[in-house]
Amino acid sequence: MNADEIKHLSPRLVALTELLEERARQAVTEVALGSDQLQSTARSLGLAGRQLADEVVGAIGAQAQEAARQGLRKAIDPCSQGLLQAVAQAERAAAQLQSQGVQLLQAQRGLLWKGSLALLLGAVLAMAGSGYVAWKSAQAAAQAEFSSSVLRALQSGVLTQCGNVLCVKAPRNAGRYEKNNDYILLRE
């Protein structure tokens, strides 16, 4: 993977991270909305049940005897208590759903950051590796060029071996290297 590919990959990683965060926020919002609606419905059912019971008892009480009213109240009270218990259970379930939604969002954010950091670290390592390979290649090319120059000098006879010492064949009026006059410039 080269530096250009990493540069093109980075915006995509950022966009992916933002998309995942947006979807996590939407999920938590939907869970919270559903939880609120469940609580509201449970309360409405409790109130409606109480109202119904009161209306039924009032209507029968106006038309019937005291005994019939007491018997009906005894039958309705357990139903009202059951409805109140159902409302309480629904509220507890809604609170648990909301709490779990918040925990899920926190866990997703942590994973998103860790994943993004890991991808960024991988991209940096890949770029550093590519740079190192390019640097080593440039060094090898420079060494090959120098070796090639020495080989050409040996083949042309400008550089040879005189006993145990290297010799250079240079004309008397050979030019000197500008930065250091101790060196003679060899031309083919």
Mind listing the pLDDT tens digit for each residue in 80-107?
787 778 888 888 888 888 888 888 888 8
Task: Give per-residue pLDDT as tens, 7-32.
Answer: 777 777 777 788 888 888 888 888 88
Domains of the chain, residue spans: 3-138
pTM here is 0.40
- Evaluate whether 79 touches 50 at the Cβ level (below 8 Å): no
Query: Of 58, 54, 84, 57, whose CA–CA distance to 72 is shortest?
Result: 57
91: number of Cβ within 10 Å: 16
The residue with tokens 């950022």 is 14
Burial (CB < 10 A; 0-12, 13-18, 19+), residue 187, is: exposed
The rounded average pLDDT for each run of 10 residues, N- to C-terminus, in the chain (188 residues) is: 73 79 85 84 80 74 64 74 81 86 86 84 88 89 84 79 74 77 67
